[in-house]
């Protein structure tokens, strides 16, 4: 083949690929997808490119399912059918209880469901999509529609295609599951990193006696409590750090109660927050964080670097016990750190422990939120681009809220730094947003405390 011919063939192929654009509008695709669940349409076959033949259709579409087939005519009608069954050239009818035909009336989709499941679709080699004996696109390898309603589907022909049986185009789309939402379930300004950092630096609690509110991190072993502190610390240091011991282990790597202060840079001032790290929760009794120790932490009795002993909680008589903690020593917000990729397989024993903790925290009146970690491991869409986190239906629907008894507004997705060497602005923004949400919950705690004090004074 000459170089000129080679160029011509290559140009033709590239031209064909560039024209492989859906004729269905985004609005029409959304309308069809709304009938099928959380899905998207992927174009497989376009007759104007691949040919108005049964062979071309079957080459592109056999063994692909579910599918939506669409015909277009010069009268402006857009019509077709859906089947969950894969196409073949067997010549047989195929059973499909979910098949339906459709047409668009302006933006409205009109459906005509199959009324004889056993004959919903027929696999004919010399034609395109073949719905019963009622509607065939690319019939007998021609750019025409075969229409004969009343066999296995009932539809008015004039409403379906305006009795215009000549096709200007035929497309077949594969229906694919997707977790991507049409609109993000929470709005984030992805260029706001600097503004968030300045907000955190300048934050001041509403109570003058507390300069650094204390946020307690609670979660199962390996969920990322220590990694969250390291990640927030990294954002303000300008590089990835690992001050708190973190990693993957079947038992808690944190064996002491730690109170971590984050500095605004290497020589900077401490930020107005203290992140308190505890032992990880474990399913079995007598392992991991003890519920009695938790009460002491919440009320401010435990000193920094207290060594946990799951079999013997701290006693009031112990030497290190803080007998008269001030407001600044208490916990002002609780953040449950939950691995998004493991929520669905959370052991019953662990779920019961978390429920007992939540009830205890509720009784004391401390606001609670959920840090949903490892979102990139839980959802491929987020792994591809962390900015997809609020477009991910999977992340939105993850069961952390229902398992912990908190609303969606209290769930904050984050991606901790674990294997990276350099910072990523989008990860930073999620981490900084989580800290700001903690501040808002701390403000709620102090507002509630102020209201209680006012009520007591009023009664006196």
CA nearest neighbour of 272 among 446, 92, 139, 107: 446
- The pLDDT of residue 4 is 42
User: Does residue 186 fall inside a structural domain?
Assistant: no
Residue 206 shares a structural domain with residue 332: yes
| Single residue among 129, 144, 177 that ends a domain in this structure | 177
Q: What is the pLDDT along the chain (460 residues), one digit of tens a residue?
A: 444 444 333 433 444 444 589 999 988 998 998 888 778 899 999 999 999 999 999 999 999 999 999 999 999 999 999 999 999 999 999 999 999 999 999 889 999 999 999 999 999 999 999 999 999 999 999 999 999 999 999 999 999 999 999 999 999 999 998 767 778 889 999 988 899 999 999 999 999 899 999 999 998 888 898 899 999 999 999 999 876 555 444 444 556 778 889 888 888 899 999 999 887 787 766 566 667 778 888 988 877 777 766 556 666 666 677 888 899 999 999 999 999 988 877 888 888 888 888 999 999 999 999 999 999 998 888 988 999 999 888 888 887 777 778 888 999 999 999 888 899 999 999 999 999 999 999 999 999 888 777 766 666 5
- The pLDDT of residue 205 is 93
The domain total for the chain is 2
Residue 231 shares a structural domain with residue 380: yes
Domain extent, residue 434, equals 193-458
Residue 95 shares a structural domain with residue 137: yes
Residue 87 shares a structural domain with residue 142: yes
Residue 121 shares a structural domain with residue 203: no
- The pLDDT of residue 65 is 94
Residue 167 shares a structural domain with residue 215: no
Residue 136 shares a structural domain with residue 217: no
- The pLDDT of residue 305 is 75
Residue 265 shares a structural domain with residue 390: yes
Residue 167 shares a structural domain with residue 283: no
- The pLDDT of residue 127 is 97
| Single residue among 177, 203, 233 that ends a domain in this structure | 177
User: Does residue 3 fall inside a structural domain?
Assistant: no
CATH assignment at residue 392? 3.40.50.300
- The pLDDT of residue 274 is 94
């Amino acid at each position: 083949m000459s170089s000129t011919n080679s160029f011509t063939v290559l140009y033709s192929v590239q031209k064909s690929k560039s024209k492989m654009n859906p004729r269905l509008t985004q609005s029409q695709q959304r309308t069809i997808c709304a009938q099928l669940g959380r899905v998207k349409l992927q174009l497989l076959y376009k007759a104007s490119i691949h040919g108005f033949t049964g062979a071309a259709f079957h080459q592109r579409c056999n063994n692909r399912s579910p599918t939506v087939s669409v015909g277009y005519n010069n009268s402006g009608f857009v019509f077709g059918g859906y089947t969950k069954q894969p196409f073949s050239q067997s010549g047989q009818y195929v059973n499909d209880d979910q098949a339906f035909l459709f047409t668009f009336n302006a933006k409205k989709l009109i459906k005509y469901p199959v009324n004889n499941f056993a004959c919903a679709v027929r696999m004919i080699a010399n034609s395109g999509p073949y719905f019963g004996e009622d509607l065939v696109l690319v019939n007998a390898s021609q750019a025409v529609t075969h229409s004969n309603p009343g066999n296995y589907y009932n539809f008015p022909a004039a409403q379906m295609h305006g009795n215009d049986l000549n096709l200007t185009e035929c497309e077949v789309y594969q229906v694919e599951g997707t977790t991507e939402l049409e609109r993000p379930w929470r709005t984030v300004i992805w260029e706001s990193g600097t503004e968030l950092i300045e907000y955190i630096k300048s934050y001041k609690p509403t109570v003058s006696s507390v300069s650094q509110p204390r946020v307690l991190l609670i979660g199962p072993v390996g969920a990322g409590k220590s990694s969250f502190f390291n990640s927030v610390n990294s954002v303000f240091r300008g590089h990835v750090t690992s001050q708190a011991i973190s990693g993957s282990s079947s038992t808690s790597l944190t064996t002491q109660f730690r109170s971590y202060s984050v500095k605004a840079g290497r020589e900077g001032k401490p930020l107005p927050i203290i992140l308190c790290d505890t032992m990880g929760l474990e399913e079995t009794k007598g392992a991991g964080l003890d519920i009695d120790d938790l009460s002491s932490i919440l009320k401010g009795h435990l000193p920094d670097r207290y060594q946990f002993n799951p079999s013997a909680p701290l006693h009031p008589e112990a030497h290190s016990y803080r007998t008269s903690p001030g407001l600044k020593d208490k916990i002002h917000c609780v953040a449950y750190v939950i691995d998004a990729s493991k929520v669905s397989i959370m052991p019953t024993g662990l779920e019961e422990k978390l429920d007992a903790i939540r009830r205890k925290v509720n009784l004391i009146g401390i606001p609670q939120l959920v840090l949903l970690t490892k979102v990139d491991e839980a959802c491929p869409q987020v792994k591809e681009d962390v900015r997809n986190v609020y477009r991910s239906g999977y992340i939105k629907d993850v069961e952390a809220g229902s398992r912990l008894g908190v609303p969606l507004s209290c769930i904050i997705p984050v991606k901790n730094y674990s294997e990276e060497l350099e910072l990523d602005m989008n990860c930073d923004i999620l981490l900084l947003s989580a800290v700001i949400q903690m501040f808002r919950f701390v403000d709620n705690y102090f507002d509630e405390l102020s209201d209680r004090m006012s009520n007591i004074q009023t009664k006196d």
